[in-house]
Chains A and B, each alone.
Chain A
Amino acid sequence: MTITAPAPARSAPSRALDWVRDHLVQFFAGLALLYLFLPVIVVFAFSFNDPAGRFNFQWRRFSLDAWRDVCGAPGMCDSLLVSLQVGLLATVVATLLGTLLSFALVRHRFRGRAATNLLIFLPMATPEVVMGSSLLALFVQGGVDRGFWTIFVAHVLFCLSFVVVTVKARLQGLDPGLEQAAMDLYANEWQTFRLVTWPLVLPGILAAALLSFSLSFDDFIITNFNSGSTVTFPMYVFGANQRGVPPQINVIGSLMFLAALGIALAAQYRRKKY
């Protein structure tokens, strides 16, 4: 039987150093997360600020005023309403059109596949400045007044590609054997779609709709080019940079974050049950 000498005792600091070395990657990841959340924390914190002047950049004192009087900032709630309206409308249209296109791409044979794929990809790869300005060029040439409906058109445009990518991925992941099994079990084409295909694609369509809405709600550059005198929430914030930043903006920002977190966690919870 061999006797091994006991390992020399390590001092606490050198053990700590070892731990850091082994977990170097996680350490940097933690820093990255901190970096990600820093602005969010600042946004949240400064929603409780009572600023000295028009600009909410220096901490003065704690106050719940902004939360109590959310629509106190002039024009902000109007802009929110516009953003919501455009967002909902664009989401519905983009999700509908994009879903139909996805079904065609995944389930049917046709010529011009490569060209179609390219056409869908291009808007995602084009800088917003270029897309915004080319749409503006179209409207100017066509003598179309810029306003709510031009914003709507622009939003559907850039949401389409993302809807297609999302729904297509979900559809491709669907086992075609399931639909064959349904037909084997006496379901005709319509029943198969209603009872098998649709319920299984729905999560993808909902994810696409959610993505669409957030892209639309948060869009600035393309909207800026094509909005005329209509003001969406991001445009309001942009103007605020010059005009005056009320803490209510931070309130909205915080609410958006909490809503997003809530929806994401709820989706996680639902998926665990499946």
Chain B
Amino acid sequence: MTRRGTAYLLMLPALAWLAVFFLIPTVTLVSQSLQEGSLEEGYVVTGNVGIYADVLRDYAPQFLRSLLYAGIATVAALLIAYPLAYTIALKAGRWRNVLLVLVVAPFFTSFLVRTLAWKIILGDDNLVVDALRFVGVLGDDGRLLATPFAVICGLTYNFLPFMTLPLYASLEKLDGRLLEAANDLYAGAFTAFRKVTLPLSMPGVVGGTLLTFIPAAGDYVNVEFLGTPQTSMIGNVIQSRFLVVGDYPAAAALSVILMVTIVVMVMVYVRRAGTEELV
């Protein structure tokens, strides 16, 4: 068998799986969005492009809210993960591997169970809320649960390892001698960070923000557990349209719009921030 022949044979099963269960469904999704009908009567493809306008009009708030929440969560995750990744990569010495394990291990616990834990932490009659009421930050009836704050808190938490690990990978490659050189050339610690460390860790920042923002934008579990219908994100809408109401065309249209939005944002971001290897 020729080398090329062997290659195709090895690739075939996996690529076939991807083609059938990823590529084709994407097409099916678009076609489904252009259908009309109902669960009982069945659906027919009518090419109803107007559904996109309808859906955008009806659910613009949820879309914007999704992008907003995901954006805030991404920034928060970056601020929290950066010192952590920096410490592990550059200051941990022989504790490095242990710390990495500690960062990753919590995320092998079911994320739903952990999100439920946030319900306890931010719960109405528990420690955190009591403390904040005592200090006066929250009113006597103030809640943390069922607020945007809780949802964003949950989002930030859930995607923290997706931000930490790429940052770590990028910082780990940093040559410590570059910082020494910066210090030798009269740069203080903060300047050295701004001019040397930060730019060199950009691939990690880009990777981390992408891997955080994309899933966060489509999440609905955090709203379900920690939020209310007033804080619902586009994911909640898609889920309810598909699984509760059965309005397949609208739900499919929403999905397509979300996908396109993400793709566009990613391309713009990547082109500006610059990245080479994706896989």
Which residues from chain A sit less than 8 Å from chain B, CB to CB?
Answer: 25-26, 28-29, 32-33, 35-40, 42-43, 46, 56-59, 96-98, 100-101, 103-105, 108-110, 116-117, 119-123, 125-131, 133-138, 140-141, 153-154, 156-157, 160, 164-165, 168, 214, 217-218, 220-221, 224-225, 233-234, 237-238, 240-241, 245, 249-250, 252-254, 256-257, 259-261, 264-265, 268
B214-261 contacts to A (CB < 8 Å): 214-215, 217-221, 224-225, 234-235, 238-239, 242-243, 248, 251-252, 255, 258-259
Q: Report whether A109 and B114 are in contact in the complex, using a CB–CB cutoff of 8 Å.
A: no
Q: Report whether A46 and B3 are in contact in the complex, using a CB–CB cutoff of 8 Å.
A: no
Q: Report whether A234 and B10 are in contact in the complex, using a CB–CB cutoff of 8 Å.
A: no
Q: Nearest-CB distance from B219 to chain A (Å)?
A: 8
Q: Is the interface of B mostly helix, strand, loop or mixed?
A: helix
Q: Report whether B80 and A35 are in contact in the complex, using a CB–CB cutoff of 8 Å.
A: yes
Note all chain B residues with C-beta closer than 8 A to A116: 11, 15
Q: Report whether A39 and B22 are in contact in the complex, using a CB–CB cutoff of 8 Å.
A: no
Q: Nearest-CB distance from B66 to chain A (Å)?
A: 10
- Tell me whether A32 and B252 are in contact in the complex, defined as CB-CB below 8 angstroms, given that A26-B87, A134-B29, A249-B116 are known contacts: no
Partner of B3, one of A108, A137, A241: A108
Q: Report whether A220 and B14 are in contact in the complex, using a CB–CB cutoff of 8 Å.
A: no
Q: Does B103 contact A (CB under 8 A)?
A: yes
- Tell me whether A46 and B120 are in contact in the complex, defined as CB-CB below 8 angstroms, given that A129-B255, A137-B28 are known contacts: yes
Note all chain A residues with C-beta closer than 8 A to B15: 101, 116, 119
Q: Does B137 contact A (CB under 8 A)?
A: no
Chain B residue total in the interface (Cβ 8 A): 85
Note all chain A residues with C-beta closer than 8 A to B21: 135, 138, 153-154, 156-157
Note all chain A residues with C-beta closer than 8 A to B29: 130, 133-134, 137
Q: Nearest-CB distance from B84 to chain A (Å)?
A: 4
Which residues from chain B sit less than 8 Å from chain A, CB to CB?
Answer: 3-4, 6-8, 10-11, 13-15, 17-19, 21-26, 28-29, 31-32, 80-81, 83-84, 86-88, 91, 97-99, 101-106, 108-121, 123, 125-126, 157, 160, 210, 214-215, 217-221, 224-225, 234-235, 238-239, 242-243, 248, 251-252, 255, 258-259, 262, 266, 278-279
Note all chain A residues with C-beta closer than 8 A to B252: 133, 137
Q: Nearest-CB distance from A155 to chain B (Å)?
A: 10
Q: Nearest-CB distance from B206 to chain A (Å)?
A: 13
CA distance A165 to B165 in the complex (A): 15
CA distance A122 to B225 in the complex (A): 29
Q: Report whether A261 and B87 are in contact in the complex, using a CB–CB cutoff of 8 Å.
A: no
CA distance A97 to B113 in the complex (A): 31
CA distance A37 to B80 in the complex (A): 13
Q: Which residue of A lies closest to B87 (CB)?
A: A29
